[in-house]
Amino acid sequence: MEINNINETEKNFDEDAKSVKDITSLEEVRVKYLGKKGFIADIMSKFREVPQELKKEFGQKVNALKSKIENSIEEIKLNLAKKQIEFEIKNTRMFDYSLPVDTNTGSLNPRTIIQKQVVDIFKNMGFVVEDGNEIETEYNNFESVNVPKNHPARDLQDTFWLSNGELLKTQTSAAQNRILRTYGPVCKVIFPGRVFRNEALDARHENTFFQLEGVVVGENVTVANLIYFEKAMLKALFKKDIEVRLRPGFFPFTEPSYEMDAKCPFCSGKGCHTCGNSGWLELCPCGMIHPNVLKMGGIDPEKYNGFAFGLGFDRLVMIRTNLDDIRYLNSNNLKVMSQFKTRM
């Protein structure tokens, strides 16, 4: 009786296997025969009822049927996958990667264009280019750049805090400590990156924007060296000599600190829409690296000193293109973005 059940089950499986058309129907067949409540499990539950002299034959037949079903299902699955691949190949439009690129289709983001230009300028002046982390520790983002807990400067930055106590970096300065410890007391390094501030969005403010930070450390480094490098960068970027001025500023990681303004390259200081009729463009926070920052970076401030500076790529794009809304730079508005490839 039970031997007949095995033969009947095998016959039924053969019929069901022929009707499988896709993965869903295959799974239904698998559950029907191999599931916890399937035919194989049902047959095995009756093993104790089989006469002693038939148990060996019964067991062999059940195991053989189970193996056959498992192998058949695997084979059907492979055939279905093969047919799916053949179908996709047949119905996929092939693309020839050797064809010439249509340069009229799409464009780089203007921020990407100007970042490459600025980075290349600094590389030509001997700077090493480093990357920074977007997720940072509280120590790297604040304490290592002389912003201890409860420091009022923290109130100026609306920080995105993560549940593990880390944060989305609010400034590229978060990489300073790692850079100083990696390169030591004599270095020229820039580190561009994306930073985040939990700010309300408007035409002049974004919660995600891009900056470049640079540090130069050595013996007898002065503010004059800082001015030289910034003027050289601006001359290469705007293709003309640019007059700059320093105004007193405050940044916890530099002392003394400055705001560097550039005479508007579009009106030569006479006043225009780009500079708000002031004749000057706010461009670059900078200053001499604070001794505490050098010390935390493993550098002796009694022997070495240096300067640090920052640039905002979004700001430079808006200056170069007269773009009046920073939100376009993070948008997917290709109509707006594509026009800049001929204006950068």
The residues with which 215 forms a beta bridge, in sequence order, are 189, 308
Q: Which of 9-18, 41-50, 262-271, 291-300 has the highest mean pLDDT?
A: 291-300
Residue 105 belongs to a domain: no
Residue 100 belongs to a domain: no
Q: Tally helices (H) and strands (E) across the chain.
A: 11, 10
Q: Among the three residues 91, 122, 139, which one is the final residue of a domain in this structure?
A: 91
CATH number for 251: 3.30.930.10
Domain count, the chain: 2
Residues 245 and 243: their CA atoms lie apart, in Å, by 7
Residues 192 and 115: their CA atoms lie apart, in Å, by 8
- Check whether residue 127 and residue 217 sit in a common domain: yes
pTM of the model: 0.63
For residue 61, the model assigns a pLDDT of: 86
The chain-wide mean pLDDT, for the chain, equals 85
- Check whether residue 129 and residue 72 sit in a common domain: no
DSSP states along 176-234: HHHHHHHHTTSEEEEEEEEEE-----BTTB-SEEEEEEEEEEESS--HHHHHHHHHHHH
- What does the pLDDT look like over 219-260, one tens digit per residue? 999 999 999 998 899 889 888 888 888 899 888 899 999 998
Residues 330 and 337: their CA atoms lie apart, in Å, by 10
Spatial strand order of the sheet with 160-161 comes to 135-136, 167-168, 160-161
293 near 311, Cβ under 8 Å?
Answer: no
Spatial strand order of the sheet with 208-218 comes to 128-129, 187-196, 208-218, 305-312, 280-289, 254-263, 244-249
- Check whether residue 58 and residue 183 sit in a common domain: no
The parent domain of residue 46 ranges over: 2-91
**Diameter of the chain by CA atoms?**
110
- Check whether residue 75 and residue 125 sit in a common domain: no
pLDDT at 208 over 80: yes
Name the more confident of 336 and 83: 83
For residue 160, the model assigns a pLDDT of: 87
- What does the pLDDT look like over 21-61, one tens digit per residue? 888 899 999 999 898 888 888 888 888 888 888 888 888 88
Sign of CA dihedral 292, 295, 297, 299: positive
3-state secondary structure of 316: helix
- Check whether residue 115 and residue 166 sit in a common domain: yes
- Check whether residue 155 and residue 65 sit in a common domain: no
For residue 257, the model assigns a pLDDT of: 94
pLDDT at 214 over 60: yes
Residue 54 belongs to a domain: yes
- What does the pLDDT look like over 98-143, one tens digit per residue? 877 665 666 778 888 889 999 999 999 999 999 888 999 999 999 9
Query: In the chain, what percentage of residues exceed pLDDT 70?
Result: 90
321 near 110, Cβ under 8 Å?
Answer: yes
- Check whether residue 189 and residue 249 sit in a common domain: yes
- Check whether residue 188 and residue 273 sit in a common domain: yes
The reply to whether omega before 256 is within 30° of 0 (cis) is: yes
Name the more confident of 153 and 57: 57
Q: Among the three residues 91, 124, 157, which one is the final residue of a domain in this structure?
A: 91
Cα→Cα distances 111→11, 43, 165, Å = 68, 69, 31
Q: Among the three residues 91, 120, 145, which one is the final residue of a domain in this structure?
A: 91
Residue 325 belongs to a domain: yes
For residue 1, the model assigns a pLDDT of: 47
- Check whether residue 60 and residue 145 sit in a common domain: no
For residue 202, the model assigns a pLDDT of: 67
Residue 103 belongs to a domain: no
Residue 99 belongs to a domain: no
pLDDT at 181 over 50: yes
Backbone φ, ψ for residue 46 (5° rounding): -100, 10
